[in-house]
Every structure is written in structure tokens, then in C-alpha cells.
Chain A
Amino acid sequence: MQKLVLLGDEAIAQAAIDAGISGIYAYPGTPSTEITEYVQHSKEAKQKGIRSNWSSNEKTAYESALGMSYTGKRTMVCMKHVGLNVAADAFVNSAITGANGGMIVVAADDPSMHSSQNEQDSRILSKFAFIPVLEPVNQQEVYDMVHYGFDISEKYKIPVMLRITTRLAHSRAGVQRKDSREQNEISLPKNLTQFVLLPAIARKQYKVLLEKQVPLEAESETSGFNKYFEGENKKLGIIASGIGYNYLMENYVDSKCSHPVLKISQYPLPHKLIQKIAKECDELLILEEGFPLIEEMLKGYLNVGLKIQGRLSGEVPRDGELNPNIVARSLGLTDTIGNPIPSLVTPRPPSLCAGCPHIDSYLDLNAVLAEYTPGRVFADIGCYTLGALPPYNSVNSCVDMGASITMAKGASDAGLRPAVAVIGDSTFTHSGITGLLDCVNDKTPVTIFILDNATTGMTGGQTSAAMGRLEDIVKGLGVEEEHINILNPMRRYHEENMKVIQDELNYEGVSVIIPRRECIQTIGKHKKEAKAKEEAK
């Protein structure tokens, strides 16, 4: 079969296409975005009729995938780690309903927070939900595990999590393809109450879920993804999970590791394999790309057994991603480093692009707010979060998708006037709509900026769910028409825009201001596409 050079994310997508999915569901989020984009751009996926448009948020994506699984077809749903929080209600309960057609949920974690507000470890949520996890170490294993994941999902009727981290998601390597599988035909669950989580049924289904853990653990012992490597130096045994295994082996490229090593890539943890290494060795070192999940489980609260080293004991840093040097130090091997960074090298943080419409929106807003004390602008997740940095210093919060409107509401309820929210068009449809409804119902004095750049900018310009319908949605929720204002965020309208903003800040009710100008990154792309379309006519 054909060999391709693929990003980890692309390997997931290609594998899903080859494994016979009928649909993929997702909301963009780094480092998971490229999975769905690959399917959207794949000719093969188009020929096979695989459904791949963006969903409004991770919860709607997850539930749609569960619905497809209900019909007996295979499906994948992809999100970044914090997206799994949004989908958590559906995620946890889908373990209890179980799956019908094979279902894989991809959780792309971001240790070291390259593009995220935290570094939570999705393995913890899967343990909470009793959902099995596959944690590949390289692009080939990514590809193979997607096929295997659909197999066990259909065999044990349960959604399966594929957990990756940033470095694997965004790293390329060669991948050998397998033969592709046909999609499933529609075949509804034999038991049509399986998905009805009324208490009486849920209690039964929950027992079924608990019973599934036994064969799932047996899979972890025997599938071959968890692997024991013998070693003669039994003073120390090493358990390395996910890409922690790569960083370990990088230290033994030119020699053989003398310690027994247990590579962990599948959960629930394989009890027998772990007992074997614990029995054979005097001490254990645990290397995990993420939280100290395995370490904590083995150590227990009392920590009375075997000496266990890792992130909790301090041999490995408590936070941040691993690398080959951190692992070398934890093993007492020679560390390497080049020359130091010269002191003249200056940080170059990301910034809003030249010509970005958000710049003008912030300059308008800053000018009006200059006469008030600072600290009254609640922002959200997107490019415009960069407005928190100099020279703008425009916003005072960024917590989770949608929190701008609701935090401004709470602050306004407490008496803060004016209270301002700043949210992007795509974040608004992801999680801002319900918060705005709360404001309308309470007639809360807030001024809400929906920065409409006609795209999902931060993740690379994906389609925005409310294209051309923002005013209708806002109006439909009950915002008074005279307090819905569209602005053109350009320098020449600065004075005009300031006046509108000032009037709305003074209004004791809900106002929505929509500064509208297309993202500078996508405008060129769209012009080109429009021209091509025109020429095609």
C-alpha cells in the first residue's frame, strides 16, 4: 500500500477515511484542527460521501457523532482538550449509553500550553467516564490505532478515546496505509432502550459499562500496543506512556537501554504487565506526557510500597511537556546543551496582523473607555485575546469559550457600569448565544461587542457558523433593534464609531455592537476563490 508523509493529525484523518467512517464532527481548536480539515479537502472522502462540515461547538459535534453511531455507522469526533470540557456531558453519558457503530473521540492535549489556557490531561476525563484510551507514540501507530479503535468500539459497544498531544499532532513522518474498509449500513441498536438514560435503565447500563472494563483491560494486556521490553538492570524499571516513550528511546539511539521498559499506549492500564515490572524492579521511574496519572495510581495516597519516581516526586518537572533532555536528567544520563541565547534576543510574542479589523475595534473602544477607570472589558477565546497585550491592553479576561458575555453580565449584576464583553463571531455561535439570552431575560446593562471578521481566525480561517445571520440571531434572542449597531472598524470612521459606543455604554440595557470587516488573512483567499468561480461561469 501507499506510503504518505503525514502530520499526526493527518494520519488520524486518513485512517478514519480508510477505516470506513461515514461522518466526522468537530469544532476547530489547536492542535486538533487539521484532522477535520484533511477530511474536508480529501477527494477520496468526497467520493465516499463522508460528512465533514464544522459543528457549532464540541458538544453539538459529540452528540451528532453519537447519533451517527446510534445508526450503526462509524464516526469520529475531534476536539482539543478544553473542547472535551464543553462536550463533557455528552462524553461521560455516552459511556453509559454505549456506542453502536464504531465511535472514536480524538482529544488533542496541549501540554506546555502552546495555544491553550491550560494543560489538562484528557486521560483523567476518560478514566472518570470509564472510556478506554489509545495513546499513540508515532504517526504510524496513530494510523494503526484508528483502525484498532473502531474494532474495539464495535466489539465492546463503547466510544474509544484517541489521545494525542501537540508534538504528535503537528509532527510529520512516513505512514504506511492499509486497505480501506466499506462504510457500515444503517443498523439500529438491537435494544432500542440502550440510549434511554432514564434512571431505571441507566442503572442497568452503568453496570454493563463497569462489566466492560474487564475485557477492555484484557485488550490492554494483549493488543501489543502496551509492550514490555526486558532489561538486565533491574534496580530501576521505566514506565513510559505516549510520546514520553520516544523521549526515553531518543536517549538510547546508539546504545541499548539496560533497564526493563514498559511502554504504555492503551488504557485501562494493563494490570499484569504493571505487576510484572513492579515485581522485577527495585524502583520505578514514570514518564508521562501530561499529568502524573499512572504515577499517582501506582503510588496511592499512602505511598508505602515501591519507591516511585516521576512528576510527583520531583525527578521529572511537575508541569510542562517532556523532552529528551528532561528524560536524560531524570535517568542521571549526561545532559547536552549548546551555547546560551545571547541577551540581545528579544521575545517576539504573537500579535494582531497589520490591517486586522480587531485593531480598529480596540482603538475605538479604548478611546471611549479612556474616561472610565480600567478593568471593565471581558473578552473571549480567539485572535482578539491578543488585545490583552501591549500596545492595546484592551481586555481584562479570557477564561473559556463564551465567558465574555456571562462574566460581563455577572459584573454588571454586581453594579459595574459600564460592563463590556468582547467576543468573536464564531465564539459567539459556539457558546455566546445562551449567555446573551440570559442578559436579555434580565435586561442586564451590558455592551456586547461581537467582532465579526467573517471567519474562525485563530485556527486558520474556518467557516463561521453565523455567516451573514448575526443580526438575525441577536434580534431573535430579543435584543432591541435600536440597540443593535453595525460598525465599520476603520480609522476613517473612528469618531463616528466612538459616538455609537458611547451612547450604548450609557444605555441601561442590553446592547450589541457588531464591528464588521473581514479577517485580513482570509480576505485575499476569498477574493481569489470568488474570481475563480466567476471565471468558471
Chain B
Amino acid sequence: MKKDIILAGVGGQGILSIATVIGVAAVNLGLHLKQAEVHGMSQRGGDVQSHLRLSDKEVMSDLIPFGKADMIISVEPMESLRYLPYLSKEGWIIANSKPFINFSNYPPIENVINEIKAQHHNVVLDADKIARESGSLRSANMVILGAASPFLDIAFENLEESIRFIFGKKGEDIVNVNLKALNAGRDFAVDVVK
């Protein structure tokens, strides 16, 4: 088993929580893991990415080689495209359709979505809307993770267990909102892939 995942977004959007949920699940399954993050200057509203690597063998490089990523999971549409050189020919893009606009010349959103849909394997969803319907806008990242879950090679129950473990300290309500968001994201992706 090998899964190389690029997590993408803008500083402050919570891509690291996605990495943590997958990471805890992977460690519980006894997989090897390396996860490179971006800290420091770029966190101030700049583009951020994390390389998450899971394998049943020892992981050597902290960075995923270009052309070898199995997935790009992005909480922002344009940011998903920034990492295309990393994606393998058979790789999947899972992207939020809701743009995060913090600069003046953001490209027309339809064009961005069309570029994502021009990629071979893609799931595009309005995670913000789905999250709001599930009870909290703040769990948009868990909606995205849910949408990515059918392609992760990690059982859905393991991800749920990981959410319970990570958010458990914050109380039952927070856990349930996140689980609901995760499920909603998964349901969306399963429908699309059919």
C-alpha cells in the first residue's frame, strides 16, 4: 500500500486538520507515515501545502516526487491546480468549489472549475455549503476529507474513529458535527463516481 497525498489550501484554512485525521488513522493501522508541512511566513494568507505520505514500507523522502502523487485534496479550487505537476496520470483531485479570494486578480471561478474538471479523475464540491447544511461551516475541511475517503485505501470507520479521538476533548457536539460533515462529503463523492 502506498498513498501520496498533496493537501492544498490557503494559510489558516485548516488543511493540517485533514492531515491529522488521516495521519492518526494511518498510524493506528500500523502504516509508515511522513508529513511535510509549511510553517512560517506563508501562513499569513499565502498558499500552503502539505505532503502526506503513507506506505506499508519505510517512507524515505519527506517530499512527494513530481508526477507521483495519488491525490490532491484541496480546500480551495485554484490551489488544487497549483500542484498538478505532482499528480500522477491516474491521480485524483478532490477540490472545494468555493474560492478563497484574498487578492485582486482572482481568475474567473468558472474557468478554474473547468480546469479542474478537465483533469482525468476529479471530484468538485461546494464543501462550504455542505458543511453549513451539516451544522457548521468550520467543518468544510471534513467534508473535503469525506469526499476523498473513497480513494484513500483507509476504511471509513478508521477515519471516523480518528475524528472521535482528535475532537473528543472538545465535546460530543463537535465530534458529531465533524462526523456528519465527513459522511456528507463521502456521500457526495460516491454519487459522483457512480
Contacts and interface: CB of A to CB of B under 8 A. Distances in A.
Interface of A: 5, 7, 30-31, 33-34, 114-115, 167-168, 170-174, 243, 246-247, 249-250, 253, 323-325, 328, 335-342, 344-353, 383, 386, 458-460
A108 B85 CA distance: 28
Interface stretch (B60-68, B132-140, B170-178): B60-68
Nearest to B82: A345
Given A253-B57, A338-B87, A339-B119, A324 B44 contact: no
Contacts, number: 153
A383 B42 CA distance: 11
A346 B112 CA distance: 11
Minimum-distance CB pairs A-B, first 3: A336-B67, A30-B40, A115-B40
A318 B36 CA distance: 24
Interface in B60-98: 60-63, 65-69, 78-79, 81-82, 84-89, 91
Contact of A30 (B32, B41, B106): B41
B107 A344 contact: yes
A66 B30 CA distance: 42
A246 B57 contact: no
B61 A250 contact: yes
B103 A346 contact: yes
A172 B33 contact: yes
Given A5-B33, A34-B39, A167-B62, 19 more contacts: A30-B41, A167-B63, A170-B36, A171-B51, A172-B34, A172-B37, A173-B33, A173-B34, A174-B27, A246-B61, A249-B61, A250-B65, A325-B65, A338-B86, A338-B89, A346-B103, A351-B45, A353-B45, A386-B44
Interface of A is mostly: loop
A300 to B, nearest CB: 31
14 contacts: A115-B41, A170-B36, A170-B38, A172-B33, A173-B34, A173-B59, A328-B65, A338-B87, A342-B84, A342-B115, A348-B79, A350-B42, A459-B40, A460-B39
B23 interface: yes
Contact of A243 (B62, B68, B89, B119): B62
A340 B66 contact: no
B46 A253 contact: no
A344 B119 CA distance: 15
B27 A337 contact: no
Contacts of B115: 342, 344
